[in-house]
Structure 1
Amino acid sequence: MQKNDLVTVAIEDIGVGGEGIGKVDGYTLFIKDAIIGDVVEAKIVKAKKNYGYARLMNIVTPSENRVEKPVCPMARRCGGCQIQEMKYGAQLAFKEGKVRGNLERIGEVPTELLDKVMQPIVGMEEPFHYRNKAQFPIGTDKEGHIITGFYAGRTHSIIPNTDCALGVAVNQKILEIILHFMENNHISAYDEEKHKGLVRHVLIRYGFKTDEIMVCLVINGEKLPHAEKLVDKLCKISGMTSITISVNKAKTNVIMGNEIKLLWGQTYITDYIGNVKYQISPLSFYQVNPVQTEKLYGLALDYADLNGNETVWDLYCGIGTISLFLAQNAKQVYGVEIVPQAIDDARNNAKINDITNAEFYVGKAEEVLPEYYREYQESHGGETAHADVIVVDPPRKGCEESLLQTIVDMQPEKVVYVSCDSATLASDVKFLRESGYELKKITPVDQFPNTVHVEVVCCLHRVNS
């Protein structure tokens, strides 16, 4: 195969970036915007020895699972929704198959065991408008007009769009007010290449249970000229609670700065997951799909099966979302998180919920837990530190082996693993199964409809415990 070759391909799978995958004479091609079941005509744009990338030129035979008209007209150009062209039922089947395939292939979990312990994927009734957080880059088009929207896939080129199908409806109104304010008051948009211009991004958060709204403008400077005019417009929106600026003068792709300045209202909004209340600042990590998060954490709590007498460790605890859920049913919960700001939020969230049986530690989980284990042994004459349940919700790379070994050494009755990457989950499950634990329950949860991402919650029990 060579660059610019035109080929006809049947799409058999979807890659990690949402590209359709097909083969021509054994040669694998990745084709953006093609879905499983499509037969497409594609032009090769990059040819490697054993695989290549191609551009979709024409759909010869559409998949029976292809949507005739995507909800968002920008779906193909935007990098946010990789599989919006696929019917939602087919998306769920693909994600469930992806989790199962990774556990079988990478985790070496027997098919007959998966048949027994794996539950159907938990989907959404309404797979759009589910995001409670959105970050919109601000820039200019070729004519010099200020625009906002989302980056095209794998680029920093902004596709103008104030009405994202995954965000809440009020986002559009907020963005249009900000764009008009900038145009009318000659406020410049940031230019990444030149590192000039003022407004870089707009962060919007929305409380699904409280209807509270936060707007934070990320600026390449110390203050926003004529801010009072913008505040006057925004604070008239029902539910507006927090208007701030985030100072970020660094030449970086990191969106938020560390300094938050209040323009109006307060520096946080509140929201609930279940009956637990959370205060969310512009810098807080908080799950972006509250409807599915409640289901996800409900499963984690169900799998932990607490009776009120347990000691629980919650590793990678963020702002304490799972910790505080668990604390309602446990004797004592210890949360660990590397981000100091998140731990401050976790302690505050415990306080506002009158939860006194949750303690939080700043540090890397792979350092804090092994250190605690060693110190406990030294101070207790060799006695082994014990936990009844250990919950992990690691980043995409999964858990480090040293952490997994410490978990095994502490001999919890149950390990509840919440994962955002089923490939690394499978690898960690393999380690735990080889170290005296067995899978008892596993459920995929569709946290991000119309994308290729899928969350999983599973429970492993200690064998012969």
Structure 2
Amino acid sequence: MSLPVKKNDQLDVYIEDLTHDGSGVAKVEGYPLFIPGSLPGETVRIHVVKTLKKYGFGKLLEIVQPAENRVEPPCPVFHVCGGCQVQHLTYEGQLAMKHSMVRSVIDRIAKLPHVPVHPVLGMENPWRYRNKSQIPFGTQNGRMVSGFYKTRTHEIVDTDVCLIQQPEGDDILQALTNEFEKLGVMPYDEETGRGMLRHVVIRKGFATGEIMVVLITKKKKWAEKEQVVEAVRRIVPDVTSIIQNVNSEKTNVIFGNETLTLWGKDTITDTIGDVKFDISARSFYQVNPVQTEVLYGKALEYANLTGGESVIDAYCGIGTISLFLAKNAKHVYGVEIVPEAIEDAKKNAAINGISNATFEAGPAEVVIPNWYKQGVKADVLVVDPPRKGCDETLLQTIITERPKKIVYVSCNPATLARDLRILEDGGYETKEVQPVDMFPQTTHCEAVAWLELR
């Protein structure tokens, strides 16, 4: 069967939808074409760059008729940087797109068209919200550069300003890049494996103002280490913590396994609501503290705790949701596969004087049945899994153990929808879903779902 378009065709198309990565979708005689940079409601002129059996890709040549909600992106490198995908869409348009995305997967994958999906909870100011920057370093035209990766590549876009990061992060990175070059610090080259400096990670406590600078290096020993520490202290006079992380592997994973404190404290402190957290270099901690409070507040509302409930928090991390819930529960049990995160969770419970929280390291699908055997039965189960969703064995464990209520916090609507279908088939009823915009200017969307045992 011949396709309605072929490679190198130029044609005008109407954009009907957006994909999860922010590309516009046009259809020519039912054949989908994905066009980065286009928006729903637009007529655009495209160059067909690739055709496959079921879909193809086009390059945007010209916007013939722009969408009403198109805006000029304020970031000068938006069109090449892969950090944001939808700066060219008004913020109201972004929230509508994210609602549509969540609604679509709840209908299509979960097959729950009757379940309410509420309007997305957005930000008053959807800029400068990130409390963590992870910046790769490299060399271009003989000079050191730092920035973000170009879309679908590992080519660094030299960046002075990032409008979703903290302003201090911009200033620190520019000053550090200049200083590293003066000191002769060699950036790591992914292709050859040569060089020393891989990434710099900057974390800031929104509530406390404490700053951590993490230098990720190929080797533990490096000639300029002391000079670099002095430079960081001079450039960031109020720095709380300077950390070195060693990653000697030939990989694009950012962190290695060895972490050393070069100066100051091992951790920085931040608060969400009235709960205080110690955050280490490798701790998972939500990057948008303003919306984290909104997200966790919704999880707390769905849990509807009265003070007499036992709660199990699967994928508890450093205890962020667990400690939020502990203030209103009889007891909270948190499980997490990363032992260091469990140590952090225990410390965070102690810092906050919370004694009704127990944390254990291990796979949730192993630890939770053991707790049930010991007589720990959850009235409420909270899950906050990674993007791949809940482990299949954990879902079967939940269905077997039958907690009365589940609060599912998701960072990937598609895997949320898949898991809701499994839980529905296992005897649960999804009551409602609340999307929360944790990442303005990008296509990512978080959501909280409330389920009850039938």
Shorter chain as denominator, the TM-score bin is over 0.9
C-alpha separation in 1, matches of 2:33 and 2:364? 39
Letter matched to residue 390 of structure 1? L
Q: Which residue of 2 aligns with 1:173?
A: 171
**Contact 2:387/2:412 (CA < 8 Å) preserved in 1?**
yes
- Structure 1 window deviating more from structure 2 (86-95 vs 41-50): it is 41-50
C-alpha separation in 2, matches of 1:294 and 1:285? 16
Match runs of 1:203-282 below 5 Å: 203-236=201-234, 237=236, 239-282=238-281
Q: Classify 1:226/1:50 alpha carbon distance in 2 versus 1 (closer, same or farther; 3 Å).
A: closer
Letter matched to residue 82 of structure 2? G
Letter matched to residue 131 of structure 1? R
C-alpha separation in 1, matches of 2:241 and 2:215? 11
Measured after TM superposition, the shift of residue 25 of structure 1 is 2.1
Q: Which residue of 1 aligns with 2:13?
A: 9
1:233-267 CA-partner distances (Å, limit 9, x unpaired): 43243531111211111111111122122222112
1:337-389 CA-partner distances (Å, limit 9, x unpaired): 1111111111111111111111111112233223444x44xxx7xxxx62110
Measured after TM superposition, the shift of residue 190 of structure 1 is 0.7
2:64 corresponds to 1:60: yes
C-alpha separation in 1, matches of 2:138 and 2:334? 40
Q: Which residue of 2 aligns with 1:91?
A: 94
**Contact 2:371/2:377 (CA < 8 Å) preserved in 1?**
no
Measured after TM superposition, the shift of residue 224 of structure 1 is 4.0
Q: Which residue of 2 aligns with 1:31?
A: 35
Letter matched to residue 14 of structure 1? L
Q: Which residue of 2 aligns with 1:427?
A: 418
Letter matched to residue 75 of structure 2? C
SS of residue paired to 2:94: helix
C-alpha separation in 2, matches of 1:297 and 1:268? 23
**Contact 1:220/1:248 (CA < 8 Å) preserved in 2?**
yes
2:33 corresponds to 1:45: no
C-alpha separation in 2, matches of 1:247 and 1:398? 29
SS of residue paired to 2:430: strand
C-alpha separation in 2, matches of 1:172 and 1:443? 33
Q: Which residue of 2 aligns with 1:129?
A: 128
C-alpha separation in 2, matches of 1:174 and 1:355? 36
Question: Structure 2 residue aligned with 1:411, among 398, 402, 408?
Answer: 402
C-alpha separation in 1, matches of 2:41 and 2:391? 38
Identical counterparts, % of pairs: 51
Letter matched to residue 285 of structure 2? Y
Q: Which residue of 1 aligns with 2:436?
A: 445
Measured after TM superposition, the shift of residue 271 of structure 1 is 0.3
SS of residue paired to 2:208: coil
Measured after TM superposition, the shift of residue 166 of structure 1 is 0.8
- Structure 1 window deviating more from structure 2 (363-372 vs 19-28): it is 363-372
C-alpha separation in 2, matches of 1:32 and 1:110? 29
SS of residue paired to 1:218: strand
C-alpha separation in 2, matches of 1:435 and 1:222? 50
Q: TM-score, normalised by structure 2?
A: 0.95
Paired residues in the alignment total 449
Letter matched to residue 212 of structure 2? M
Q: TM-score, normalised by structure 1?
A: 0.93
Gaps of 5+ in 2: none
SS of residue paired to 1:235: helix
SS of residue paired to 2:252: coil
C-alpha separation in 2, matches of 1:319 and 1:241? 20
C-alpha separation in 1, matches of 2:253 and 2:392? 29
Q: Which residue of 2 aligns with 1:353?
A: 352
SS of residue paired to 2:178: helix
**Contact 1:138/1:200 (CA < 8 Å) preserved in 2?**
yes
C-alpha separation in 2, matches of 1:167 and 1:344? 29
